[in-house]
Structures are given as structure tokens and as C-alpha cells.
């Protein structure tokens, strides 16, 4: 059984998407669709997440998302847009950067959420990608 983290699988499949011929492109897109379903959603990440397939690969993975903020009264009061950017770091593992406005220190929450999901979640590749 070969296991990988979610970020490894995303990077591998984004790189594969760049090199695959048209006969396998549909299979590659299906795999990336499955991987997107594993990304965080809910708890303010109400529109889910999208993998930037064109700009992601083995050297960088970009995930776009929005956060739905609430005010002190518990009412929704706006959105912030973010990109979660992972790049390899040989000495410490992947480096994560979050773009967008840091309204209400939301980047701390996003960092914790995406770190856990992408770096600590192990997936059995054979089960996840069986046809």
C-alpha cells in the first residue's frame, strides 16, 4: 500500500496533466476532481476550493478559495479571496504562503486548516484512484 499526502497527490497529478496526451487527459482531470473534493469546505470556506491546474505542478501547487466572514452579531458580512501557495523546501518540507487580505487574522485559521488537510492527511493511492 503506497500512501501519500494530499499535497503530494495534487502536485503529482498537476504535473501529469502537463505531460499527458489527449487520450489520458480525461482520466487526469477526473483524478484532480476527486482530489478537489478532499480540500477544506465549510466553516467559512463556503465555496470550497479549486486547484489552479494550469499553474500547479511539481514545483508549486496553487489552491484558490474564498472565506465568508461573520461579524460580532453572527451575521455574514463579506468575503475575502485567497490563494494557498505551496512550494518545496528541502530543509523543512513544503512552504505555504497565503495571499489576500488578512481580515480578522483569517490567515492563521487558513494556515492551520490547510496545513492539516494537505500535509497530514495520508491517502492510500490504490484505493483513491481505482477505476
Q: What is the pTM of this model?
A: 0.89
Question: Do the Cβ atoms of 41 and 49 come closer than 8 Å?
Answer: yes
CB-based contacts of 60, cutoff 8 Å, min separation 6:
85, 86, 87
Helices (H) and strands (E) in the chain — how many of each? Answer: 4, 6
**First and final C-alpha spacing in the chain:** 16
Tens of pLDDT along the chain (131 residues) come to 688 889 999 999 999 999 888 888 888 899 999 999 999 999 999 999 999 999 999 999 999 999 999 999 999 999 999 999 999 877 777 899 999 999 999 999 999 999 999 987 777 777 666 65
Q: List all residues 6 or more positions away from 88 whose beta carbon is below 8 Å from its beta carbon.
A: 59, 94, 95
Give the pLDDT confidence of 91-129 residue by residue, as tens digits.
Answer: 777 899 999 999 999 999 999 999 999 987 777 777 666
Domain ranges of the chain: 3-128
- Beta strands 95-98 and 122-124: pairing type? unpaired
Amino acid at each position: 500500500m503506497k500512501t501519500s499526502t494530499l499535497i503530494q497527490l495534487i502536485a503529482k497529478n498537476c504535473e501529469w496533466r502537463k505531460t499527458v496526451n489527449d487520450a489520458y487527459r480525461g482520466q487526469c482531470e477526473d483524478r484532480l476532481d476527486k482530489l478537489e473534493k478532499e480540500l477544506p469546505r465549510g466553516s467559512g470556506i463556503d465555496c470550497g476550493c479549486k486547484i489552479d491546474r494550469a499553474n500547479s505542478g511539481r514545483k508549486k501547487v496553487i489552491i484558490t478559495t474564498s472565506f465568508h466572514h461573520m461579524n460580532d452579531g453572527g451575521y455574514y458580512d463579506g468575503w475575502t479571496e485567497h490563494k494557498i501557495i505551496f512550494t518545496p523546501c528541502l530543509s523543512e518540507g513544503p512552504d505555504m504562503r497565503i495571499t489576500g487580505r488578512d481580515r480578522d487574522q483569517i490567515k492563521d485559521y487558513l494556515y492551520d486548516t490547510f496545513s492539516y488537510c494537505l500535509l497530514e492527511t495520508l491517502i492510500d493511492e490504490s484505493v483513491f484512484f481505482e477505476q
